[in-house]
Chain A
Amino acid sequence: MSANAIRARVTRRSFQLELDLAWDERVLVVFGPSGAGKSTLFEVVLGLHPDARPLVRIGGTLLDDPDLRRRTPLERRGLGWVPQDMLLFPHLTVKENLRFGVARSSGSRPLMGSGSQPLLETAIEVLELGPLLARRVDEISGGERQRVAMGRALASAPRALLLDEPLASLDLALRARVLPYLLRVRDELDLPILYITHDPDEAMIVGDRAVVIDAGRVVADGPPARVLWSRAVLPLSEALGLENVLEARVLETATDHLIARTPGGLRLTVPCPTPLAPQHTLRLGLRAQDILIAADPPGRISARNVLDARVVTLETATDGVLVHVDAGEPLVAKITRAAADALELAPGARVHLVIKSQALRRLA
């Protein structure tokens, strides 16, 4: 029997979520586009959907079982929930927020964390919250709020952590600052973690196992590296930031890379640590933001793939310009508005696409 299991069927007027999961790995990443049902999964784990007849076992403890008529109330589930918008208590200081659930940790359940050190101290240390303790929660930054929310959950001596897109509300620079704390929490406190994200990189870095949810169903389940690029996930590629998917056939292989050719005639250099037989079919994913556009032919350059292309259309996106090009295969690149203006890109313009071979991900 697995240490963790979730089985439930949530029915809403416009939405249905069916779950049947069992796993032993420490970090389960719940992955999928927004609206897929990821947050509803958390609500099931938190016991907020009793009508779904849920079976929930976390860290070896049976929380809900419809057959045994067992239901554990939210306050006794022992789950360190970090909601997406953190929900710090606005009338309390950082320290008071951290201490909020501490009473529970002095109870009978064995303390987790390093040795006999109280969990609150451990959380403050690991998340470097010391300098923030006296502050009010509206005085601290987004990244600090995220750390406080995590600390608050940890200090309550949970049997597992539920992290709901902990990095999503942070900008890129902040993500890079908060991620190491997250990894420290994962590595220094031996806790099962359920981790919701829609970012494939995050899922790969953090997860030991991944489930992909789409439209209320689990469409893939397994090791992140395998699951995130599986065929089941392909229809979600765009939602996952993989705007270009290419089929290609292996032409020749070398020690650490191979050359492949698409039906449209593109020759691509792809990293490949294990040799593949010629004529093997590959499916490659390429993010729009990983394609550089050059107006003039680049000279000596490390990127192994430089492709001639013609601009088809320009499309304004919320965070830049999507440049649709024809390079023998239709491709889409994402660049900033300023870059598009500087290159004087217009339909019909001849350009050169620069693609690092590392940016080509093997999907299947």
Chain B
Amino acid sequence: MSRAELLSMTGLTLQVALVATAFALPFALALAYTLARRDFPGKPLVQALLALPMVLPPVAVGIALLLALGRRGPLGPLWSLLDVELVFSWWAAAIAAAIVGFPLLVRACEQAFADVDPRLERVSRSLGVGRWQTFWRVTLPLARRGVLYGVVLAFSRALGEFGATAIVAGILPGRTETLALGIYSRVQLGDDAGALTLCGASFVLALSAMLVAETWLRRPRRRFEGPGA
């Protein structure tokens, strides 16, 4: 396996994971904040549905995505109208990774928001700062650590995503072949040395992400987590 091949596969993996996380984050923040602050009928159902991508076989998630994104699925006319071909593109890989990592992200953010005293938000609003500004100036800064933890978790999950991606994005060298897919296809072809090299690359990526999480997020408690936080 060439060095260029390895680099492009690693690059694609990072690209997919980054786009997936960035794409999932705003939705996760909105949903997590709602879950942390509001009670509404059907909340347990929403939370159960939310956990599904985590507990379903990834292959099943892939099939569902194939239906949703494919031109022959129920949304097919829409994709035809917009003239986009998502299936078997790296976008599909990113979407698959986003969906599989979404529950992790929402859980971490929900917990982080729940830990922020809602009375601080009330004080902020009483000082003339609206709900939206209050979220950016009070809630998010105070929940920052938990949100970042969720981001790292979802990103790491996206790095290793295989099942759903293989179904909806295929294993197309140079286009959708991420490290996880590459390892599988090397093993299928009997290229054990290549598979091991890619395993090594995966190992380095995953370890780096986790190192960031451990060193960055487990730093001594910062000032704003003192008494009263």
Instruction: Decide yes or no whether B119 CB sits under 8 A from chain A.
Output: yes
Write the nearest CB–CB distance from B115 to chain A, whole angstroms: 12
Minimum Cβ distance to chain B for residue A248 (Å) = 47
> With A and B bound together, what is the CA distance between A46 and B229 in angstroms?
23
In the complex, the answer to whether B142 meets A75 with C-beta atoms within 8 Å is no
Q: Quick one: which of A74, A91, A136 contacts B126, CB cutoff 8 A?
A: A74
Q: How far is the CA of A92 from the CA of B131 in the complex (A)?
A: 18
- For the complex, is A181 an interface residue (Cβ under 8 Å from B)? no
A77 to B127, CA, bound (A): 9
Which one of A16-24, A100-108, A125-133, A257-265 is at the interface?
A100-108
Which stretch, B3-11, B50-58, B197-205, B220-228, touches the partner chain A?
B220-228
Q: How far is the CA of A83 from the CA of B117 in the complex (A)?
A: 13
B221 to chain A minimum Cβ distance, whole angstroms, is: 11
* B224-A75 in contact (CB<8A): no
Q: Tell me which residues across on chain A come within 8 A of B224, comparing CB atoms.
A: 90-92
Q: Does A138 contact B (CB under 8 A)?
A: yes
- Say whether B228 contacts A138, CB under 8 Å: yes
For window 127-141 of B, CB contacts with A under 8 Å fall at 127-131, 134, 137-138, 141
Contact with B along A191-205 (1 / 0, CB 8 A): 000000000000000
Query: Quick one: closest A residue to B117, CB to CB?
Result: A87
Q: Does B123 contact A (CB under 8 A)?
A: yes
Give B227's nearest chain A residue, CB to CB: A138
> A83 touching B119 by the CB < 8 A rule?
yes
CA distance A327 to B224 in the complex (A): 56
Chain A interface residue count, CB cutoff 8 Å, equals 29
Closest to B120 in A: A87
Do residues A77 and B228 form an inter-chain contact, with CB atoms below 8 A? no
- In angstroms, how far is the closest chain A Cβ from the Cβ of B138? 6
Shortest beta-carbon distance from A16 to chain B in Å: 23
Q: How far is the CB of A73 from chain B (nearest CB, A)?
A: 8
Instruction: Pick from A78, A101, A153 the residue with the most CB of B within 10 Å.
Output: A101
Contact check, B130 vs A89: say whether CB atoms are below 8 A apart: no
CA distance A78 to B125 in the complex (A): 10
Inter-subunit contact A89/B128 (CB<8 Å): no
A156 touches B127 (CB 8 A): yes
A211 surroundings in chain B (CB, below 8 A)? none
Beta-carbon contact of A88 and B228 below 8 Å: yes
Q: Does A152 contact B (CB under 8 A)?
A: yes
Query: Distance (Å) between the CB of B130 and the closest chain A CB?
Result: 5
Chain A residues numbered 83-118 whose CB sits less than 8 Å from any CB in chain B: 83, 85, 87-92, 100-101, 103-104
Q: Which of B129, B134, B225 contacts A90 (CB 8 A)?
A: B225
Q: Tell me which of B138, B141, B228 has the highest count of chain A C-beta atoms within 10 A of its own C-beta.
A: B228
> B185 in the interface, Cβ–Cβ < 8 Å?
no
Do A90 and B229 touch (CB < 8 A)?
yes
Q: Please, what's the 1-or-0 string for B207-229, where 1 marks a CB less than 8 Å from any CB in chain A?
A: 00000000000000001111111
Q: Which of A48, A78, A100 touches B129 (beta carbons < 8 Å)? A: A100
A46 & B228 in contact (Cβ 8 Å cutoff): no
Residue B122 interfacial (CB < 8 Å): yes
Binding site secondary structure of chain B: helix
Contact B126 A46 (CB under 8 A): yes
A123 within 8 A of B: no
Whether A100 and B228, one on each chain, are in contact in the complex, defined by CB atoms closer than 8 angstroms, is no
Which residues of chain B come closer than 8 Å to A104, judged between CB atoms? Answer: 127-129
Contact residues in A for B127 (Cβ distance below 8 Å): 75, 100-101, 104, 152-153, 156
B15 within 8 A of A: no
In the bound assembly, the distance between CA atoms of A138 and B228 in angstroms comes to 8
B77 to chain A, nearest CB (A): 42
B89 interfacial contact with A, CB 8 Å: no
Which of A75, A83, A137, A153 is the most central at the interface, judged by chain B CB atoms within 10 Å of its CB? Answer: A75
Residue of A nearest to B124 (CB): A100
Is A31 part of the contact surface with B, judged by Cβ < 8 Å?
no
Contact A101 B223 (CB under 8 A): no
Taking the closest CB of chain B, its distance from the CB of A160, in whole angstroms, is 11
Closest to B119 in A: A87
Q: Which residues of A contact B141 (CB under 8 A)?
A: 91
Residue among B128, B138, B142 with most chain A CB within 10 A: B128
Nearest residue (CB) in B for A149 is B123
- Known contacts A90-B229, A137-B228; A83/B123 CB under 8 A: yes
> Which of B120, B125, B225, B227 is in CB contact (< 8 Å) with A75?
B125
- B131:A75 contact, CB within 8 angstroms: yes
Q: Min CB distance, A119 to chain B, in Å?
A: 12
Cα-based distance from A91 to B117 in the complex (angstroms): 13
Q: Verify if A81 is at the interface (C-beta below 8 Å from B).
A: yes
Q: Which residues of A from 4 to 27 have beta carbons under 8 Å from B?
A: none
- Taking CB atoms and an 8 Å cut-off, the chain B residues in 56-87 that contact chain A are none
Given contacts A81-B123, A87-B120, A156-B127, 7 further A-B contacts (CB under 8 A): A75-B129, A87-B228, A92-B224, A100-B129, A101-B128, A138-B226, A156-B128
A-B contact pairs, 9 of them (CB 8 A): A75-B130, A85-B228, A87-B120, A91-B224, A100-B137, A137-B228, A138-B226, A138-B227, A153-B127
Which 7 pairs of residues, A with B, have the shortest CB-CB distance?
A101-B127, A104-B128, A91-B224, A138-B226, A74-B125, A90-B229, A81-B126
